[in-house]
């Protein structure tokens, strides 16, 4: 039976007995301690007593050892344990060169069973001390060795910008009845924590996840203090990116720390701990040049759930295909999706307008996407009167050849006739992604509650 989780509500500390393994060997009992800042695995490790090389401890049998009490130092040993502690009377210390040490037959970890032939196994600690004190000058101890157990060995993982996962690291294999907590640095891990009881498992998972989210949001607020309004961070958290190597047909997953900041989508291998590290992001995409889409269950490539695709146009002619990511839970995926939409709205509002160089009717022109106005096309550079203009709500559809040709289908507000405009654009994907961002922002901003939630920016 597993010990149920004990929760000390006032201190926000949760402890309970679990099993811990390295994922390969058999799980061993351990105590798990969860606080707001960290999760600690306390494992009892049996360590043999420290002995001189020429001495070996006789195990699992009783021995009789005679000690001659000395005038200074007495028997030369200390004891611990006792009936009140539900422990035998154990020798806890042997003083160098004193009486017990001189016998060469007594060791730390020996349990004293008899003193001068009288059992002391049911004695309390103080009674055992008195019996030993009053046992005369020549004392015969009957002892049996117990291997000394060190106190719990601790492994602590800080939760700030860490994550909890049920997947076997780097794979799509879900561990039944187990999870692992990993810290911000690659070396920080609790190992695999096994919890038999499903209710206790979900209790632990929720507790750890909530604390991680709380701490990460706190770090986000600290970052935002140093950032101007338009550069604020909307989201920070771990996702897993699917990577297909040339030698294999399946995906392996690598953890990426994702930050949505201002108009940027930032991907880190190790979370930034300060504003300087935040500025040194190894990979940044513009949110209005990316497409975010959750993966339907029928489209999933493996056993990983809660997946999404990110495709970036990045202004290149031949942009790479969509990148495949996985979030740990549905809740986390929804949180990320909401933050992504908020970021698109903020980015578009901040951008106000964006003009793309196109060819229209064989002549160069500029197609402008304007947050307030909609679509307009003009020839002759900035300030020229537009040849045509439509509001975003008039767009009824678009089609393209996947290379450079684009058709936009607008509906005339009065005649209801569909008017098709044909364009060519060398960076078609950038234009399409930007159009998508402006339209997403327009749809999202129609919802007053959503608009109110981003007004503080």
Q: Do domains 1-45+154-225 and 228-345 have the same CATH topology?
A: yes
3-state helix, strand, coil split of the chain in percent (to 5) is 25, 40, 35
Q: In 3D, which of 401, 298, 296, 233 has the Cα closest to residue 309? A: 296
User: What does the domain layout of the chain look like in residue ranges?
Assistant: 1-45+154-225, 63-145, 228-345, 352-454
Cα 96 to Cα 306: distance, rounded to the nearest angstrom: 63
Q: Hey, what are 358's tokens?
A: 């196109």
The predicted pLDDT at position 249 comes to 65
The predicted pLDDT at position 46 comes to 54
pTM over cut 0.75: no
- Enumerate helices (H) and strands (E) in the chain, giving the number of each: 7, 28
Please tell me the CATH code under which domain 228-345 is placed: 2.30.29.30
The predicted pLDDT at position 86 comes to 77
Cα 322 to Cα 311: distance, rounded to the nearest angstrom: 4
Domain at 352-454: CATH architecture: Roll (2.30)
Q: Hey, what are 420's tokens?
A: 């098709």
Element (H, E) at 34: strand 28-34
Q: In 3D, which of 283, 289, 345, 294 has the Cα closest to residue 312? A: 289
Specify the 3-state DSSP secondary structure of 25.
Answer: coil
| Beta strands at 189-194 and 178-182: parallel, antiparallel or unpaired | antiparallel
Q: In 3D, which of 333, 337, 312 has the Cα closest to residue 323? A: 312
CA-angle at 366, arms to 360 and 369, nearest 5° = 115
* Count of residues in the chain: 457
Cα 27 to Cα 8: distance, rounded to the nearest angstrom: 27
Tell whether domain 1-45+154-225 is in CATH 3.40.50.10490.
Answer: no
Q: In 3D, which of 184, 188, 164 has the Cα closest to residue 270? A: 184
Distance of CA 36 to the CA centre of its chain: 14
Cα 277 to Cα 254: distance, rounded to the nearest angstrom: 20
Cα 301 to Cα 240: distance, rounded to the nearest angstrom: 14
As averages over each run of 10 residues, the pLDDT of the chain (457 residues) reads 38 84 87 92 64 51 91 91 84 90 88 93 92 94 73 82 94 94 93 94 95 94 91 94 75 94 94 93 91 90 92 59 91 93 89 92 93 91 85 92 92 92 91 91 71 48
DSSP 319: -
3-class secondary structure for 113-124? EEECCEECCCCC
Cα 346 to Cα 279: distance, rounded to the nearest angstrom: 20
Choose which CATH entry (3.20.20.10, 2.30.42.10, 2.40.30.10, 3.20.20.220) describes domain 63-145: 2.30.42.10
The predicted pLDDT at position 301 comes to 87
């Amino acid at each position: 039976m597993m010990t149920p989780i004990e929760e000390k509500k006032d201190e926000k500390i949760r402890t309970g007995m679990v099993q811990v393994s390295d994922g390969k060997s058999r799980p061993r009992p351990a105590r798990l301690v969860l606080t707001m800042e960290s999760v600690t695995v306390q494992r009892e490790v049996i360590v043999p007593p420290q002995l001189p090389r020429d001495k070996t401890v006789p195990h699992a049998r009783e021995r009789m050892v005679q000690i001659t009490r000395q005038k200074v130092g007495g028997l030369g040993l200390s004891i611990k344990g006792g009936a009140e502690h539900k422990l035998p009377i154990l020798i806890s210390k042997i003083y160098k060169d004193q009486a017990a040490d001189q016998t060469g037959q007594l060791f730390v970890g020996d349990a004293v069973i008899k003193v001068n032939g009288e059992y002391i196994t049911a004695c309390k600690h103080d009674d055992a001390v008195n019996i030993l004190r009053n046992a005369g000058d020549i004392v015969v101890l009957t002892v049996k060795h117990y291997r000394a157990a060190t106190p719990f060995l601790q492994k602590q993982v800080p939760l700030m910008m860490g994550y909890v996962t049920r997947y076997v690291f780097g794979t799509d294999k879900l561990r039944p009845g187990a999870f692992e907590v990993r810290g911000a640095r690659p070396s920080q891990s609790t190992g695999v924590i096994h919890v038999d009881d499903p209710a206790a498992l979900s209790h632990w998972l929720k507790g750890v996840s909530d604390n991680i989210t709380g701490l990460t949001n706190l770090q986000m607020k600290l970052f935002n203090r140093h950032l101007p309004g338009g550069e604020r961070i909307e989201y920070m958290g771990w996702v897993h990116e699917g990577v297909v190597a040339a030698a294999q047909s399946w995906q392996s997953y690598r953890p990426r720390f994702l930050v949505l900041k201002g108009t940027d989508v930032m991907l880190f291998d190790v979370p930034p701990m300060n504003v300087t590290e935040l500025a040194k992001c190894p990979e940044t995409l513009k949110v209005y040049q990316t497409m975010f889409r959750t993966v339907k269950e029928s489209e999933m490539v493996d056993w990983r759930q809660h997946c999404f695709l990110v495709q970036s146009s990045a202004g290149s002619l031949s942009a790479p295909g969509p990148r495949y990511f996985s979030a740990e839970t549905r809740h986390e995926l929804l949180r990320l999706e909401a933050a992504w939409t908020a970021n698109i709205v903020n980015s578009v509002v901040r951008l106000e307008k964006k003009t793309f160089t196109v060819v229209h009717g064989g002549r160069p022109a500029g197609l402008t996407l304007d947050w307030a106005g909609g679509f307009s096309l003009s020839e002759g550079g900035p300030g020229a009167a537009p040849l045509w203009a439509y509001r975003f709500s008039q767009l009824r559809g678009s089609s393209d050849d996947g290379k450079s040709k684009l058709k936009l289908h607008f509906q005339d507000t009065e005649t209801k006739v569909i008017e098709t405009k044909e364009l060519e654009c060398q960076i078609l994907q950038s234009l399409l992604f930007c159009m998508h961002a402006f339209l997403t922002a327009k749809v999202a901003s129609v919802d007053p509650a959503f608009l109110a939630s981003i007004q503080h920016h």
